[in-house]
Chain A
């Protein structure tokens, strides 16, 4: 257990103490204690930058299940460290923010911070685990803690709905991912990601390549809310705003991006990888931005905007795979896509985090998040307004902020798609920059909406539940820090280039780094009159035009009926699957024993007859059979006739007597076949059971006594004939296929020498196979005690209730 492991597990180790602190120290907000954890971790992980910026990695292993190849290997490289810093850094800010956001007297903070710490630990585990099974474990822990956090205000129906939705979708993806992990392990023979990267050629040749890729991508797409799995994210906005800021913008939704980036070295040699991720990402980018415009809830806008931005990063990660196919070039222009992806990932975490906190402040201070009610808050909340403007404009991709730089790089990467002359990227690939341009226009529009509708325009404070005023300073510090980062990264982007972005990009291209190619990360503000600059200008012009004419084209959103939307389909499919399962169950679980017996008999006959046919066992041979004596014919006829007669009896009494006839005839058969012990036992037992049958008959209710003979049912007749034929076939088959001699010779020879007996049956019963007898008498004892208990218990119930109708019921 190294310090690194302790660092990863620190949030999980700290979580159990939170409820005690919450109970014991009521006067201090529990968040202050929690704040220590991410701050410490941030400082701790910050020190790793010096290691990773030179391309170094840190690996520590704790043996967990070595026999299964599952060990907790912590692995810190550029990519993992970048995420770890995001998680701990934004984690600290979110905890600080939540201290002012959540009321320590009204909310159950113990729960909140336990869930939050669980999530933080899980997320660190995801990004710093080398073993995929361990990563999967942490992955599911993020799903569970996210579920708990979304459902934090569990009295609200929408919270529960959102929590369940996100749980269903992300766990579906998580389980798919587990499938992918198992497939990869079966190819490579190791769960370690580094081993998989090393054996990347082996995976590429495998017939399961596509299966593994799709399964892993399902995990990434569901977690990162890519189309069509994005629907859980807007509903997850029912969570408290610190949670939305932390999980649903900065960290958890980036777990999918992390997974794609982490698995890129394994899969990116294949063009399918490039196409799938770029196509899904680009479409998600468009769809998210398109839908964000119609939202009226501020968090709804931000949710769709997150979806859209995640799509952007995803598509960049896909396009970055092209770098491998053109590794001959000196200045690898496709690598810019990956650099942009990493850079935008950082930028998005900063501006989206600050925007969510800003929305939380607005919600907290005005009581609503509905943009139709808000307006004119600029003068009342100047600091919040400033933060909102910085965040929004960065998100829209406007010049002085970091969003502009990553957006420019994104557009540059998309326009380079043309020059890829493989896999139809030069023809259909034209869609990528076009869609990216349209999506950027929508992004520009909703970014404007966020701060214009909230802070500008006419003030209508009378509609608000609270009188608005500026937030407390503690609530403003975290978003302010993030907003300052937005500006700083905008002006001096290269501050991160060599420390964070370069090592992260290098971990995505291990083969390129190994071949000696240098990763050049150099981000300029001004890079000349390039096509992407014209595209940005076009976005601003078109976006402004559309923003001012928004009322004219809002109508297009109402064209899609609810049933056809993805949410409608999700709800419908839940209802449908529920109903279908009920219908299915109701159809075959009839509650009648008759139906179940028919299933059992039909299945048994079907299986037996089919396997006899399959193995060709119908070649009966009757060569070894004995002669049939005349009395055996007579006895056989008696049994068959009485058995058949039972079926046609009008009353039950003759049926019982006929059953006795069958039993005594069987005893006679035992006599003829030289089994005196069996004959004796059969005689007595038959007598007892007939007597018991008569007893039951005597106590039957009068109504069922009158019932005439058994009703004929075709189905029953067919099934019974089928079972009869099957058993007959089975007997013939076993008789004619006897391959081994009987063990009874041994008994015959040794019955006297070994067991000092002459009655072989009895010696077998008590000596050779005494075990069976021992438990058969136990069976008898249980049966006797069971009858005793049933009858005695019944009579006491009858006595206490003391009414006749009940007693009559019990007799049945």
Chain B
């Protein structure tokens, strides 16, 4: 946990592996996120998995490298996620429906064929972003606090 030790040690294996595994985890987390409505998964666990992938990068490199590669402000991401969730929940009131009424329909999409699109996915996207934002905010702040 001593932050300075990472700089001196040569972590070639860890860093190489991390970059490859990062994409595997990210893809897995996106899969979890999208498959949530039909099989285990969803915004929460998907967000945690994405955060785990980012933490892996944090472990292999340092926080400054991560900040240059992925320049996200995670506190804004939290706010954005909460906003998306609230707006999704709110959209129904413009159609004279109760708050948080979801809508869905089947669409014929150009590449994917006939698929069901559901506003719940937007709500889940909010959850996803909040979870990533919060997890990363906590880990980053604690990590940089020394």
Q: Mark A744-784, 1 if CB is under 8 A from B, else 0.
A: 00000000000111110111011100110110011011011
Are A787 and B48 closer than 8 Å at their CB atoms? Answer: no
Tell me which residues across on chain B come within 8 A of A677, comparing CB atoms.
40-42, 45
Are A777 and B41 closer than 8 Å at their CB atoms? Answer: no
Are A784 and B41 closer than 8 Å at their CB atoms? Answer: no
* Complex Cα spacing A794 to B145, Å: 9
B75 in complex: contacting residue of A685, A765, A780, A784, CB < 8 Å: A784
Tell me which residues across on chain A come within 8 A of B138, comparing CB atoms.
692, 783-784, 787-788
Tell me which residues across on chain A come within 8 A of B135, comparing CB atoms.
688, 784
Are A773 and B127 closer than 8 Å at their CB atoms? Answer: yes
Q: Is A718 on the interface with B (CB-CB < 8 A)?
A: no
Q: Is A574 on the interface with B (CB-CB < 8 A)?
A: no
Say yes or no: A680-B141 contact (C-beta < 8 A), given A773-B127, A777-B82, A784-B78.
no
* Complex Cα spacing A685 to B40, Å: 16
Count of A interface residues, CB-CB < 8 Å: 38
With both chains docked as a complex, state the minimum distance between the C-beta of A624 and any C-beta of chain B, in angstroms: 28
Q: Is A270 on the interface with B (CB-CB < 8 A)?
A: no
Are A766 and B43 closer than 8 Å at their CB atoms? Answer: yes
Q: Is the interface of A mostly helix, strand, loop or mixed?
A: helix
Tell me which residues across on chain A come within 8 A of B79, comparing CB atoms.
781
Give residues of chain B (39-53) contacting chain A, Cβ–Cβ below 8 Å. 39-45, 48-49, 52
B120 in complex: contacting residue of A758, A766, A781, CB < 8 Å: A766
* Complex Cα spacing A784 to B134, Å: 5
Q: Mark B70-86, 1 if CB is under 8 A from A, else 0.
A: 00000100110110011
Are B39 and A780 closer than 8 Å at their CB atoms? Answer: no
Are B38 and A781 closer than 8 Å at their CB atoms? Answer: no
B86 in complex: contacting residue of A676, A756, A774, CB < 8 Å: A774
Say yes or no: A757-B85 contact (C-beta < 8 A), given A681-B44, A780-B134.
no
Q: Which residue of A has the minimal Cβ distance to B37?
A: A757
Tell me which residues across on chain B come within 8 A of A756, comparing CB atoms.
37, 104, 116, 118
Q: Is B102 on the interface with A (CB-CB < 8 A)?
A: yes
B131 in complex: contacting residue of A680, A766, A780, CB < 8 Å: A780
Q: Is B54 on the interface with A (CB-CB < 8 A)?
A: no
Q: Is B100 on the interface with A (CB-CB < 8 A)?
A: yes
Q: Is A792 on the interface with B (CB-CB < 8 A)?
A: yes
Tell me which residues across on chain A come within 8 A of B27, comparing CB atoms.
none
Tell me which residues across on chain A come within 8 A of B126, comparing CB atoms.
777
Q: Is A791 on the interface with B (CB-CB < 8 A)?
A: yes
Give residues of chain B (116-135) contacting chain A, Cβ–Cβ below 8 Å. 116, 118, 120, 123-124, 126-127, 130-131, 133-135
Tell me which residues across on chain B come within 8 A of A695, comparing CB atoms.
1, 142
Are B85 and A774 closer than 8 Å at their CB atoms? Answer: yes
With both chains docked as a complex, state the minimum distance between the C-beta of B32 and any C-beta of chain A, in angstroms: 8
Q: Is B89 on the interface with A (CB-CB < 8 A)?
A: yes
Q: Which residue of B has the minimal Cβ distance to A780?
A: B134
B145 in complex: contacting residue of A698, A774, A791, CB < 8 Å: A791
Q: Mark B3-25, 1 if CB is under 8 A from A, else 0.
A: 00000000000000000000000
Q: Which residue of A has the minimal Cβ distance to B49?
A: A684
With both chains docked as a complex, state the minimum distance between the C-beta of A36 and any C-beta of chain B, in angstroms: 63
Give residues of chain A (47-96) contacting chain B, Cβ–Cβ below 8 Å. none
* Complex Cα spacing A766 to B102, Å: 9
Q: Mark A681-706, 1 if CB is under 8 A from B, else 0.
A: 10011001000100100100000000
Are B48 and A781 closer than 8 Å at their CB atoms? Answer: no
Q: Which residue of A has the minimal Cβ distance to B44?
A: A681
Q: Is B63 on the interface with A (CB-CB < 8 A)?
A: no
Q: Is A795 on the interface with B (CB-CB < 8 A)?
A: yes
A759 in complex: contacting residue of B1, B37, B142, CB < 8 Å: B37
4 extra interchain contacts, Cβ-Cβ under 8 A, other than A680-B40, A766-B43, A791-B145?
A: A677-B41, A677-B42, A774-B123, A784-B78
Closest 4 CB pairs of A and B: A784-B134, A676-B40, A757-B37, A777-B130
Residues of A within 8 A of B (CB): 676-677, 680-681, 684-685, 688, 692, 695, 698, 755-759, 761-763, 765-767, 770-771, 773-774, 777-778, 780-781, 783-785, 787-788, 791-792, 794-795
Q: Can you name 18 A-B pairs with beta carbons within 8 Å?
A: A684-B52, A692-B138, A756-B118, A757-B37, A759-B39, A762-B36, A762-B41, A762-B124, A763-B120, A766-B102, A766-B127, A777-B131, A778-B82, A784-B75, A784-B134, A791-B142, A791-B145, A794-B145
Residues of B within 8 A of A (CB): 1, 32, 35-45, 48-49, 52, 75, 78-79, 81-82, 85-86, 89, 99-100, 102, 104, 116, 118, 120, 123-124, 126-127, 130-131, 133-135, 137-138, 141-142, 145
